Amino acid sequence: MGAWELLLVGVVLVVGLCGVLVPGVPGSWLVWAAVLWWALQDPQPVAWGVLVGATGVLLLSLVVRWALPPRRLRASGATPRMAVYAGAGALLGFFLIPVVGAVPGFMAGIYLHERLRLGRHGEAMAALRTTMRSGGSSVLAELFACLLIAGAWLGAVLWG
């Protein structure tokens, strides 16, 4: 597989990661489709392993999201800007504290947004709790699964 094709797969992965944060966009399915396309174009055992792992992680993510409360983020006061802060925090956390840092990074992004908007620690913490209870945990589960898949793909491309 050529460099341009790998770059295109990477772009679709990034669009899928961003799509997780946008209501109505099938972000996780874009991530999975990018990995599927890569595995079909580069039929190596590692590519098929990443595809099987991605499929398993997304199915597990669906089960976890089904068990969590339904998304009512708009009702909690979540804004697109908050989604950007949360997504950036999760991405930074994912790489700064490998893999597990996505969870505190996501929550730190929401907290930072609310702290800048409201100005007080107590109010920002209350807003963070409200957001996580009204669907933020569901978004986090989906985003974390997609970050795992994107990280596995990147590792496979660099490794192999």
At residue 78 the predicted structure's pLDDT band, cuts being 50, 70 and 90, is confident
Res 73: pLDDT: 66
At residue 69 the predicted structure's pLDDT band, cuts being 50, 70 and 90, is confident
Apex 54 CA angle, 138 and 71, nearest 5: 15
At residue 136 the predicted structure's pLDDT band, cuts being 50, 70 and 90, is confident
Question: End-to-end alpha-carbon separation of the chain, Å?
Answer: 11
For 9-48, what is each residue's pLDDT tens digit? 999 999 999 999 887 888 999 999 999 999 999 889 999 9
pTM: 0.87
> Measured between alpha carbons, how far is 90 from 146 in angstroms, rounded to an integer?
11
The full DSSP string for 5-46 is HHHHHHHHHHHHHHHHTSTT--HHHHHHHHHHHHHHHS--HH
Token pair of 146, please?
């997609």
The full DSSP string for 109-134 is HHHHHHHHHH--HHHHHHHHHHHIII
